[in-house]
Chains A and B, each alone.
Chain A
C-alpha cells in the first residue's frame, strides 16, 4: 500500500548513518538513556536526540520519559506484523501438542 512506503524510506534513511547503526546495535542489548547513548561518541545530548528522533520517525526505536531522563529501546517486534504472530501461534500449538499430559 503506497501510504506505508514513506516508513520504509525513512527506515533506510535512518540506517544510512554509521552512528545510528551503532546506536541500534547498542540498543539491541537493552534499553539505554540519551546520555548513555551519547557518551562514547563525545556527542552533545542535542546531537544524540536528533539521531534518536530520526530513528523514532523510522519506527526503529521508541523512547519513554522516565523522570528527567529519556529511555530508548529498539522495537524489533513492533513491526513483525500479524503473520509472524500467527507463525508463533503455530509453534505454540506444536509445543502444546507435544507437552500435553505431562503435568
Chain B
C-alpha cells in the first residue's frame, strides 16, 4: 500500500494511507493497549494508556519513553494526541471495507517540522542521526 506524504502548511506534515479493514477495527488497533507493542516494536511496555480527553499515554520502548496526552477522542473517526514535540491529528475515513487514515503532525515551528521531515528523507542527515541513535542506544542500554 502506498503512503502519501504532504506538507499542507509551514508547520505540518501529513501522511495518508488506506488500510484494508473497516474503520472501527483500524481505530481499535490504534487504541488497544494489547496491540501497541506489536507495532511499536518488541519489548514495548504500555505503562499508561487512558484513551479519554485529557488522559495520558506512556510507552516504554526500545528507544526510550514515549509519552503524551489525548486531546480529542471521537471513535472511530478522530483521535488527537500530543506526541513528544508535536500534536498528531489522526483521522479515520470510512471507505466501506477499507479505511483512509490521515495523520497530520502539527509542530510549533517550521524548523521542528523541517527537521522531522529532513531526517527521514535525506540520506546524509539520516546516516548522521543513525550514528547518534546508535550511540544513544548504547548509552541507555
Contact = CB atoms under 8 A, between A and B. Distances in A.
Contacts of A73: 65, 67
Interface residues of B, number: 51
A72 interface: no
Contacts of A89: 3, 15, 17, 101
A66 interface: no
A interface, by DSSP: helix, strand, loop or mixed? helix
B120 to A, nearest CB: 2
B119 A81 contact: yes
B75 to A, nearest CB: 13
A77 B118 contact: no
B17 A77 contact: no
B98 to A, nearest CB: 11
Interface in B87-139: 101, 103, 112, 115-122, 124-126, 128-129, 132-133, 135-136, 139
A93 B19 contact: yes
A62 B67 CA distance: 13
B79 interface: no
Interface in A60-76: 60, 62, 73-76
Among A15, A92, A100, A103, the most chain B Cβ lie within 10 Å of the Cβ of A92
What 4 A-B pairs are tightest by C-beta distance, nearest first? A81-B120, A82-B120, A76-B64, A81-B119
Interface string A1-39: 100110110011001000001001100111000000000
